[in-house]
A = this chain, B = another copy of it.
Amino acid sequence: MTQPPRPITIADVAQHAQVSAMTVSNVINNKPHVRPQTRQRVLDAIARTGYRVNPMARALAGGRGRMLSVITRQLNLPYVSEILMGAAESADALNYDLAVLMRGTRTSNDLSVMSRLSAGALLIQPDSRDEVGAQLPEHVISVDGPSARPLSVDNYGGARQAMAHLLGLGHTRVAIITGALAFRVDPFTGAHSADSDRDDAAERLRGYHDALRDARVKVPRTYVQDGDYRKPSAELTTRQLLSLPRPPTAIFASSDAMAIGAIHVAQDLGLSVPRDLSVVGFDDFPIASQTRPALTTVRQPLHQMGALAIRMLVELAEGRAVPMPPPFQTELMIRESTAPPPDREKAP
Protein backbone atom coordinates (compact mmCIF):
# COMPACT_ATOMS: atom_id res chain seq x y z
CA MET A 1 0.00 0.00 0.00
CA THR A 2 1.86 3.02 -1.23
CA GLN A 3 1.19 5.97 1.00
CA PRO A 4 0.26 8.81 -1.29
CA PRO A 5 2.77 11.58 -0.68
CA ARG A 6 1.45 14.46 1.36
CA PRO A 7 -0.31 16.70 -1.07
CA ILE A 8 1.21 20.06 -1.85
CA THR A 9 -0.45 22.85 0.02
CA ILE A 10 -0.60 26.53 -0.41
CA ALA A 11 2.00 26.82 2.32
CA ASP A 12 4.51 24.81 0.35
CA VAL A 13 4.08 27.11 -2.58
CA ALA A 14 4.39 30.13 -0.36
CA GLN A 15 7.67 28.89 0.97
CA HIS A 16 9.03 28.21 -2.49
CA ALA A 17 8.01 31.61 -3.72
CA GLN A 18 9.21 33.40 -0.60
CA VAL A 19 5.87 34.97 0.02
CA SER A 20 3.05 34.47 2.47
CA ALA A 21 0.32 31.94 2.02
CA MET A 22 -2.14 34.73 1.58
CA THR A 23 -0.36 36.05 -1.43
CA VAL A 24 -0.47 32.68 -3.01
CA SER A 25 -4.18 32.57 -2.37
CA ASN A 26 -4.54 35.97 -3.94
CA VAL A 27 -2.69 34.88 -7.01
CA ILE A 28 -4.75 31.75 -7.37
CA ASN A 29 -7.95 33.68 -7.15
CA ASN A 30 -6.83 36.43 -9.46
CA LYS A 31 -7.30 39.03 -6.81
CA PRO A 32 -6.02 42.49 -7.65
CA HIS A 33 -3.13 44.13 -5.83
CA VAL A 34 -0.47 41.61 -6.55
CA ARG A 35 2.58 42.92 -8.29
CA PRO A 36 3.08 41.18 -11.64
CA GLN A 37 6.55 40.23 -10.61
CA THR A 38 5.32 38.63 -7.41
CA ARG A 39 2.52 36.95 -9.22
CA GLN A 40 4.98 35.43 -11.64
CA ARG A 41 7.14 34.18 -8.85
CA VAL A 42 4.15 32.49 -7.28
CA LEU A 43 3.03 31.06 -10.57
CA ASP A 44 6.46 29.58 -11.07
CA ALA A 45 6.41 28.09 -7.63
CA ILE A 46 3.01 26.57 -8.36
CA ALA A 47 4.30 25.04 -11.53
CA ARG A 48 7.44 23.84 -9.86
CA THR A 49 5.69 22.21 -6.94
CA GLY A 50 2.79 20.87 -8.95
CA TYR A 51 0.37 22.44 -6.56
CA ARG A 52 -3.37 22.03 -7.02
CA VAL A 53 -6.04 23.71 -5.00
CA ASN A 54 -8.01 21.58 -2.66
CA PRO A 55 -11.57 22.48 -3.51
CA MET A 56 -12.86 21.14 -0.22
CA ALA A 57 -10.69 23.41 1.80
CA ARG A 58 -11.66 26.27 -0.41
CA ALA A 59 -15.32 25.51 -0.05
CA LEU A 60 -14.96 25.12 3.68
CA ALA A 61 -13.23 28.41 3.97
CA GLY A 62 -16.07 30.18 2.30
CA GLY A 63 -15.18 30.53 -1.33
CA ARG A 64 -17.40 28.85 -3.83
CA GLY A 65 -15.82 26.53 -6.31
CA ARG A 66 -15.91 26.64 -10.04
CA MET A 67 -18.10 23.63 -10.19
CA LEU A 68 -21.67 23.18 -11.18
CA SER A 69 -23.77 20.15 -10.64
CA VAL A 70 -26.57 18.53 -12.46
CA ILE A 71 -28.89 16.51 -10.33
CA THR A 72 -30.99 13.86 -11.93
CA ARG A 73 -32.58 10.57 -11.20
CA GLN A 74 -31.96 8.69 -14.41
CA LEU A 75 -29.19 8.82 -16.89
CA ASN A 76 -29.92 6.34 -19.60
CA LEU A 77 -32.77 8.36 -20.98
CA PRO A 78 -32.01 10.23 -24.17
CA TYR A 79 -33.96 13.09 -22.70
CA VAL A 80 -31.57 13.45 -19.83
CA SER A 81 -28.36 12.79 -21.66
CA GLU A 82 -29.18 15.33 -24.31
CA ILE A 83 -29.60 18.02 -21.71
CA LEU A 84 -26.48 16.81 -20.04
CA MET A 85 -24.34 17.04 -23.10
CA GLY A 86 -25.51 20.55 -23.74
CA ALA A 87 -24.72 21.41 -20.17
CA ALA A 88 -21.33 19.78 -20.36
CA GLU A 89 -20.39 21.68 -23.47
CA SER A 90 -21.43 24.96 -22.00
CA ALA A 91 -19.71 24.31 -18.71
CA ASP A 92 -16.56 23.41 -20.51
CA ALA A 93 -16.66 26.58 -22.53
CA LEU A 94 -17.11 28.67 -19.42
CA ASN A 95 -14.33 26.86 -17.71
CA TYR A 96 -16.51 25.36 -15.04
CA ASP A 97 -16.53 21.74 -14.06
CA LEU A 98 -19.63 19.69 -14.12
CA ALA A 99 -20.65 16.94 -11.79
CA VAL A 100 -23.69 14.85 -12.35
CA LEU A 101 -25.34 13.54 -9.26
CA MET A 102 -27.78 10.76 -9.34
CA ARG A 103 -30.02 10.91 -6.43
CA GLY A 104 -30.77 7.47 -5.20
CA THR A 105 -34.02 6.09 -4.06
CA ARG A 106 -33.93 7.75 -0.69
CA THR A 107 -32.98 11.35 -0.30
CA SER A 108 -29.31 11.35 -0.56
CA ASN A 109 -27.32 12.68 2.29
CA ASP A 110 -24.42 13.75 0.23
CA LEU A 111 -26.66 15.58 -2.08
CA SER A 112 -25.63 18.48 0.02
CA VAL A 113 -22.09 17.96 -1.16
CA MET A 114 -22.62 19.56 -4.41
CA SER A 115 -25.00 22.12 -3.18
CA ARG A 116 -22.20 23.38 -1.03
CA LEU A 117 -19.26 22.52 -3.17
CA SER A 118 -20.67 23.80 -6.36
CA ALA A 119 -21.66 27.23 -7.38
CA GLY A 120 -25.03 26.11 -8.63
CA ALA A 121 -27.12 23.19 -9.66
CA LEU A 122 -29.30 22.19 -12.54
CA LEU A 123 -32.14 19.94 -11.49
CA ILE A 124 -33.66 17.62 -14.03
CA GLN A 125 -37.13 16.47 -13.19
CA PRO A 126 -36.86 17.42 -9.56
CA ASP A 127 -39.36 16.27 -7.00
CA SER A 128 -41.98 18.67 -5.87
CA ARG A 129 -39.83 19.53 -2.92
CA ASP A 130 -36.31 18.82 -3.84
CA GLU A 131 -33.87 19.50 -1.08
CA VAL A 132 -31.34 21.47 -3.00
CA GLY A 133 -34.03 23.39 -4.71
CA ALA A 134 -35.57 24.29 -1.42
CA GLN A 135 -32.35 25.04 0.38
CA LEU A 136 -30.70 27.39 -1.99
CA PRO A 137 -33.19 28.42 -4.57
CA GLU A 138 -31.03 31.27 -5.74
CA HIS A 139 -28.50 28.89 -7.24
CA VAL A 140 -30.81 26.42 -8.84
CA ILE A 141 -32.40 26.05 -12.23
CA SER A 142 -34.66 23.19 -13.13
CA VAL A 143 -35.79 21.52 -16.28
CA ASP A 144 -39.07 19.70 -16.37
CA GLY A 145 -40.04 20.23 -12.81
CA PRO A 146 -40.77 22.87 -10.24
CA SER A 147 -38.21 25.26 -8.84
CA ALA A 148 -37.71 28.95 -8.44
CA ARG A 149 -36.25 29.05 -11.93
CA PRO A 150 -37.78 26.44 -14.21
CA LEU A 151 -36.86 26.17 -17.85
CA SER A 152 -39.69 25.07 -20.03
CA VAL A 153 -40.47 23.96 -23.54
CA ASP A 154 -43.41 25.17 -25.51
CA ASN A 155 -45.15 21.83 -25.65
CA TYR A 156 -48.37 23.36 -26.80
CA GLY A 157 -46.67 25.09 -29.69
CA GLY A 158 -44.82 21.92 -30.60
CA ALA A 159 -48.05 19.99 -30.79
CA ARG A 160 -49.51 22.69 -32.99
CA GLN A 161 -46.53 22.47 -35.30
CA ALA A 162 -47.00 18.75 -35.64
CA MET A 163 -50.72 19.13 -36.24
CA ALA A 164 -50.27 21.96 -38.71
CA HIS A 165 -47.98 19.73 -40.69
CA LEU A 166 -50.40 16.85 -40.69
CA LEU A 167 -53.41 19.00 -41.42
CA GLY A 168 -51.49 20.80 -44.12
CA LEU A 169 -50.75 17.48 -45.73
CA GLY A 170 -54.48 16.97 -46.01
CA HIS A 171 -55.10 14.65 -43.14
CA THR A 172 -58.44 14.96 -41.44
CA ARG A 173 -58.44 11.70 -39.58
CA VAL A 174 -55.68 12.43 -37.12
CA ALA A 175 -55.36 10.48 -33.89
CA ILE A 176 -53.20 11.23 -30.90
CA ILE A 177 -51.46 9.00 -28.46
CA THR A 178 -50.94 11.09 -25.37
CA GLY A 179 -48.06 11.04 -22.94
CA ALA A 180 -48.52 10.15 -19.32
CA LEU A 181 -51.18 12.55 -18.21
CA ALA A 182 -50.33 13.50 -14.70
CA PHE A 183 -53.72 13.44 -13.12
CA ARG A 184 -54.09 12.91 -9.48
CA VAL A 185 -57.36 11.32 -8.63
CA ASP A 186 -58.71 12.25 -5.30
CA PRO A 187 -59.72 8.95 -3.72
CA PHE A 188 -62.67 10.53 -1.94
CA THR A 189 -64.24 13.04 -4.22
CA GLY A 190 -63.13 11.31 -7.38
CA ALA A 191 -62.04 14.67 -8.66
CA HIS A 192 -58.87 14.67 -10.64
CA SER A 193 -56.67 17.66 -10.98
CA ALA A 194 -53.79 18.11 -13.33
CA ASP A 195 -50.41 18.32 -11.74
CA SER A 196 -49.58 21.71 -13.08
CA ASP A 197 -45.90 21.13 -12.60
CA ARG A 198 -45.53 18.33 -15.05
CA ASP A 199 -48.00 18.96 -17.70
CA ASP A 200 -46.16 18.27 -20.88
CA ALA A 201 -48.53 15.57 -21.97
CA ALA A 202 -51.58 17.69 -21.30
CA GLU A 203 -50.11 20.64 -23.16
CA ARG A 204 -49.47 18.51 -26.18
CA LEU A 205 -52.99 17.18 -26.02
CA ARG A 206 -54.32 20.69 -25.80
CA GLY A 207 -52.33 21.63 -28.88
CA TYR A 208 -53.89 18.71 -30.68
CA HIS A 209 -57.41 19.69 -29.71
CA ASP A 210 -56.96 23.35 -30.54
CA ALA A 211 -55.42 22.62 -33.90
CA LEU A 212 -58.30 20.39 -34.80
CA ARG A 213 -60.81 22.94 -33.59
CA ASP A 214 -59.18 25.79 -35.50
CA ALA A 215 -59.14 23.70 -38.64
CA ARG A 216 -62.76 22.76 -38.06
CA VAL A 217 -61.89 19.14 -38.20
CA LYS A 218 -63.95 16.77 -36.13
CA VAL A 219 -62.60 13.46 -35.01
CA PRO A 220 -64.24 10.69 -33.00
CA ARG A 221 -63.42 10.47 -29.33
CA THR A 222 -61.70 7.17 -29.93
CA TYR A 223 -58.95 9.03 -31.76
CA VAL A 224 -57.61 10.21 -28.44
CA GLN A 225 -55.73 7.38 -26.84
CA ASP A 226 -53.87 7.42 -23.55
CA GLY A 227 -50.25 6.44 -23.69
CA ASP A 228 -47.44 6.74 -21.20
CA TYR A 229 -44.57 7.87 -23.45
CA ARG A 230 -43.32 4.31 -23.76
CA LYS A 231 -43.35 2.03 -26.72
CA PRO A 232 -45.61 -0.76 -25.47
CA SER A 233 -48.43 1.61 -24.66
CA ALA A 234 -48.27 2.92 -28.19
CA GLU A 235 -48.29 -0.55 -29.69
CA LEU A 236 -51.44 -1.38 -27.81
CA THR A 237 -53.28 1.77 -28.67
CA THR A 238 -52.15 1.80 -32.28
CA ARG A 239 -53.60 -1.63 -32.74
CA GLN A 240 -56.88 -0.32 -31.39
CA LEU A 241 -56.76 2.74 -33.59
CA LEU A 242 -56.06 0.79 -36.73
CA SER A 243 -58.83 -1.70 -36.07
CA LEU A 244 -61.38 1.07 -35.85
CA PRO A 245 -64.05 1.02 -38.57
CA ARG A 246 -62.73 4.35 -39.76
CA PRO A 247 -59.07 4.23 -38.81
CA PRO A 248 -56.99 7.40 -38.69
CA THR A 249 -54.69 8.25 -41.57
CA ALA A 250 -52.26 9.96 -39.27
CA ILE A 251 -51.11 9.51 -35.73
CA PHE A 252 -49.51 12.15 -33.58
CA ALA A 253 -47.54 10.32 -30.93
CA SER A 254 -46.44 12.32 -27.92
CA SER A 255 -42.99 10.76 -27.92
CA ASP A 256 -40.57 9.26 -30.38
CA ALA A 257 -40.63 5.92 -28.63
CA MET A 258 -44.37 5.75 -29.08
CA ALA A 259 -44.12 6.90 -32.67
CA ILE A 260 -41.75 4.05 -33.40
CA GLY A 261 -44.10 1.65 -31.69
CA ALA A 262 -46.95 2.90 -33.85
CA ILE A 263 -44.92 2.49 -37.00
CA HIS A 264 -43.95 -1.04 -36.12
CA VAL A 265 -47.53 -2.04 -35.45
CA ALA A 266 -48.66 -0.48 -38.70
CA GLN A 267 -45.96 -2.33 -40.58
CA ASP A 268 -46.93 -5.56 -38.89
CA LEU A 269 -50.46 -5.03 -40.12
CA GLY A 270 -49.17 -4.69 -43.64
CA LEU A 271 -49.50 -0.94 -43.83
CA SER A 272 -46.83 1.22 -45.33
CA VAL A 273 -45.60 4.25 -43.48
CA PRO A 274 -46.01 6.94 -44.67
CA ARG A 275 -48.09 5.83 -47.66
CA ASP A 276 -50.95 4.37 -45.69
CA LEU A 277 -50.33 6.03 -42.37
CA SER A 278 -48.43 9.10 -41.34
CA VAL A 279 -46.79 9.23 -37.95
CA VAL A 280 -45.33 12.20 -36.12
CA GLY A 281 -43.31 11.87 -32.95
CA PHE A 282 -42.18 14.26 -30.29
CA ASP A 283 -38.68 14.74 -28.88
CA ASP A 284 -36.34 14.10 -31.78
CA PHE A 285 -34.13 11.69 -29.97
CA PRO A 286 -31.08 10.47 -31.82
CA ILE A 287 -32.85 7.29 -32.88
CA ALA A 288 -35.54 9.28 -34.63
CA SER A 289 -33.34 9.93 -37.63
CA GLN A 290 -32.01 6.40 -37.67
CA THR A 291 -35.21 4.48 -38.10
CA ARG A 292 -36.77 3.45 -41.38
CA PRO A 293 -38.67 5.46 -42.29
CA ALA A 294 -36.86 8.27 -40.51
CA LEU A 295 -39.24 9.90 -38.11
CA THR A 296 -40.93 13.21 -38.63
CA THR A 297 -40.93 14.63 -35.17
CA VAL A 298 -41.07 17.71 -32.99
CA ARG A 299 -37.64 18.58 -31.80
CA GLN A 300 -37.14 19.74 -28.28
CA PRO A 301 -34.02 21.87 -28.01
CA LEU A 302 -32.74 19.87 -25.07
CA HIS A 303 -29.14 20.45 -25.90
CA GLN A 304 -29.63 24.18 -25.93
CA MET A 305 -31.64 24.05 -22.76
CA GLY A 306 -28.82 22.33 -20.97
CA ALA A 307 -26.38 24.83 -22.33
CA LEU A 308 -28.46 27.82 -21.41
CA ALA A 309 -29.15 26.49 -17.96
CA ILE A 310 -25.45 26.35 -17.31
CA ARG A 311 -24.85 29.78 -18.66
CA MET A 312 -27.57 31.13 -16.40
CA LEU A 313 -26.15 29.29 -13.47
CA VAL A 314 -22.78 30.87 -14.04
CA GLU A 315 -24.38 34.27 -14.19
CA LEU A 316 -26.15 33.60 -10.94
CA ALA A 317 -23.02 32.23 -9.37
CA GLU A 318 -21.10 35.30 -10.29
CA GLY A 319 -23.69 37.50 -8.76
CA ARG A 320 -25.44 38.85 -11.78
CA ALA A 321 -29.17 38.83 -12.18
CA VAL A 322 -30.61 36.71 -14.93
CA PRO A 323 -34.01 37.12 -16.47
CA MET A 324 -35.88 33.93 -17.13
CA PRO A 325 -36.03 33.12 -20.81
CA PRO A 326 -39.38 32.45 -22.47
CA PRO A 327 -40.34 28.84 -23.12
CA PHE A 328 -38.07 27.18 -25.62
CA GLN A 329 -39.48 26.85 -29.07
CA THR A 330 -39.70 23.47 -30.67
CA GLU A 331 -38.83 22.73 -34.25
CA LEU A 332 -40.62 20.36 -36.56
CA MET A 333 -38.21 17.94 -38.17
CA ILE A 334 -39.89 16.73 -41.32
CA ARG A 335 -38.50 13.41 -42.40
CA GLU A 336 -39.96 10.32 -43.97
CA SER A 337 -42.79 9.15 -41.78
CA THR A 338 -45.35 11.63 -42.99
CA ALA A 339 -47.05 12.06 -46.36
CA PRO A 340 -50.42 13.12 -47.69
CA PRO A 341 -53.25 10.74 -46.78
CA PRO A 342 -54.05 7.90 -49.17
CA ASP A 343 -57.59 9.25 -49.72
CA ARG A 344 -56.42 12.33 -51.42
CA GLU A 345 -54.27 10.46 -53.87
CA LYS A 346 -57.27 8.47 -54.97
CA ALA A 347 -59.95 11.13 -54.79
CA PRO A 348 -58.81 14.08 -56.88
Q: Which of B2, B110, B260, B267 contacts A138 (CB 8 A)?
A: B2
Question: Contact between B76 and A110 (Cβ–Cβ < 8 Å)?
Answer: no
Question: Contact between A56 and B100 (Cβ–Cβ < 8 Å)?
Answer: no
**Contact indicator per residue, chain A 104-145, by CB within 8 Å of chain B (1) or not (0):** 110011111110110000000000000000011010000000
Residues 41-90 of A at the B interface (beta carbon under 8 Å): 52-57, 59-60, 65-67, 69, 74-76, 78, 81-82, 84-85, 88
Residues from chain B with a CB closer than 8 A to the CB of A264 are 292
Question: Given that A66-B110, A75-B84 are contacting pairs, would A100 and B101 also be in contact in the complex, using a CB cutoff of 8 Å?
Answer: yes
Is A290 in contact with chain B by the CB < 8 A criterion?
Answer: yes
Q: Which of B67, B92, B111 contacts A110 (CB 8 A)?
A: B67
Residues from chain B with a CB closer than 8 A to the CB of A101 are 97-100
Q: Which of B75, B88, B260, B292 contacts A85 (CB 8 A)?
A: B75
Complexed CA–CA distance, A75 and B52 (Å):
27
Give this chain's copy count. 2
Question: Contact between A54 and B116 (Cβ–Cβ < 8 Å)?
Answer: yes
Complexed CA–CA distance, A292 and B293 (Å):
11
Is A269 in contact with chain B by the CB < 8 A criterion?
Answer: no
Residues from chain B with a CB closer than 8 A to the CB of A81 are 75-76, 81
Question: Contact between B76 and A85 (Cβ–Cβ < 8 Å)?
Answer: yes
Question: Given that A56-B116, A81-B81, A138-B2 are contacting pairs, would A108 and B99 also be in contact in the complex, using a CB cutoff of 8 Å?
Answer: no
Complexed CA–CA distance, A55 and B113 (Å):
6
Residues from chain B with a CB closer than 8 A to the CB of A52 are 109, 112
Question: Contact between A135 and B4 (Cβ–Cβ < 8 Å)?
Answer: yes
Shortest Cβ gap from A137 to chain B (Å) = 8
Residues of A in contact (CB 8 Å), total 55
Question: Contact between B112 and A55 (Cβ–Cβ < 8 Å)?
Answer: yes
Complexed CA–CA distance, A92 and B102 (Å):
9
Question: Contact between B88 and A75 (Cβ–Cβ < 8 Å)?
Answer: yes
Residues 235-264 of A at the B interface (beta carbon under 8 Å): 260, 264
Question: Contact between B92 and A84 (Cβ–Cβ < 8 Å)?
Answer: no
**Contact indicator per residue, chain A 294-315, by CB within 8 Å of chain B (1) or not (0):** 0000000000000000000000
Question: Given that A56-B59, A136-B4 are contacting pairs, would A102 and B75 also be in contact in the complex, using a CB cutoff of 8 Å?
Answer: no
Residues from chain B with a CB closer than 8 A to the CB of A291 are 291
Question: Given that A56-B117, A75-B88, A113-B65 are contacting pairs, would A100 and B102 also be in contact in the complex, using a CB cutoff of 8 Å?
Answer: yes
Known: A55-B116, A56-B57; 15 extra A-B contacts, CB below 8 A, are: A4-B136, A67-B110, A74-B85, A75-B81, A75-B84, A76-B85, A88-B104, A92-B104, A97-B113, A98-B104, A99-B113, A99-B114, A113-B117, A117-B117, A267-B292
Q: Which 6 A-B pairs have the closest CB atoms?
A: A100-B100, A92-B104, A76-B81, A97-B110, A56-B56, A55-B113
19 residue pairs from A and B, CB less than 8 Å apart: A1-B138, A52-B109, A54-B112, A55-B110, A55-B112, A55-B113, A55-B117, A57-B60, A60-B60, A66-B109, A75-B75, A92-B104, A97-B104, A97-B109, A98-B104, A99-B100, A99-B113, A100-B100, A113-B117
